[in-house]
Amino acid sequence: MLLRRITKHVKAQNWFAVGLDFVIVVIGVFVGIQVSNWNDERREEMRADEYMERIANDLLADQKNIRIRQSFWRQVIEEGEAALNYSDTGVLKDGSAWRSALAFYQASQVFPYVNTETTYAELKSAGELGLIRDAELRAQLAEYYTTGSAEQAGYITRLIPPYRDTIRGKTPIAMARHIWRECITTDGLDWQMLQECDAPFGDAQAHAVLDRYVDPVALDQLRNWIGNQEIALILLQNNLAAAEKMAAQIRAGRRE
């Protein structure tokens, strides 16, 4: 319709009307482009908000997983210290040969940790890290997911300590089966804890197992493993603080 009007005005040599039609066309094109740009920006902002919410949820998951592992590793360290105390002093844990033997075994437990990085990895692989608008936060996330303390702690906790192989090689199969049935509670993947349990045999057999456990190689390996776990706990505490800080930054940014 506008084209017919312009044609009519040209034939009539109504140049003022032609100019007005031209201005209307230009304004219409400009407004259309601006609306399109605004819609594109709005869609990108919505995508950015969705990704930031997902990253915040990943950071919350990391906080939960770190606390679970901190609790577990502290238990394992406590068991290891009880085992070393028996080897150094002959004092039985809780006055029980079985409880002391169990301490040696439980000190060999592992529970690896890795960051929840699904969302960050997705953004990185798609070349869309720019959707994280805050440059400081983007740098913090890059360190957190690539070179931060969690990577170092994860490396330590993913190692299978020599102590684990040594002590389990000295453990009667029936005892190992009993421990996994009665002395550990777990959901099979994300959560596990050590727990007290009854002995599967009498004091004489428990003392026989202890005699097998107490050897210089195993004890040196245990000291090394406890030291590594203590380092991992420090690193994971740093990682926990970083996850809490970044989650708070994201929440504050979404409120603005």
Q: Give the 3-state secondary structure of residue 196.
A: coil
Q: What is the Cα–Cα distance from 55 to 224, expressed in whole angstroms?
A: 36
Given a cut of 80, whether residue 14 has pLDDT beyond it is no
| Residue whose pair of structure tokens reads 């493993």 in the numeric block | 225
| Residue 228, phi-psi category: left (phi > 0), alpha (psi -120 to 50), beta (remainder) | alpha
Q: Where are the strands (E) in the chain, listed by range?
A: 184-186, 192-194
Q: What is the mean pLDDT of the chain?
A: 86
pLDDT tens digits along 38-91: 554 666 677 888 889 999 999 999 999 999 999 999 999 999 999 999 999 999
What letter does residue 134 receive in the DSSP assignment?
A: -
Given a cut of 80, whether residue 167 has pLDDT beyond it is yes
Token pair recorded at residue 187: 């959901």
Strand partners, 193: 185
Given a cut of 70, whether residue 97 has pLDDT beyond it is yes
Contact 207, 193 (CB under 8 A): no
| Residue whose pair of structure tokens reads 């102590």 in the numeric block | 163
Quick one: pLDDT at residue 35?
Answer: 53
Quick one: pLDDT at residue 17?
Answer: 53
Quick one: pLDDT at residue 93?
Answer: 97
Q: Give the 3-state secondary structure of residue 256.
A: coil
Q: Give the 3-state secondary structure of residue 132.
A: coil
- Provide φ and ψ at 117, rounded to 5°: -120, 25
| Residue 192, phi-psi category: left (phi > 0), alpha (psi -120 to 50), beta (remainder) | beta
Quick one: pLDDT at residue 49?
Answer: 86
What letter does residue 107 receive in the DSSP assignment?
A: T
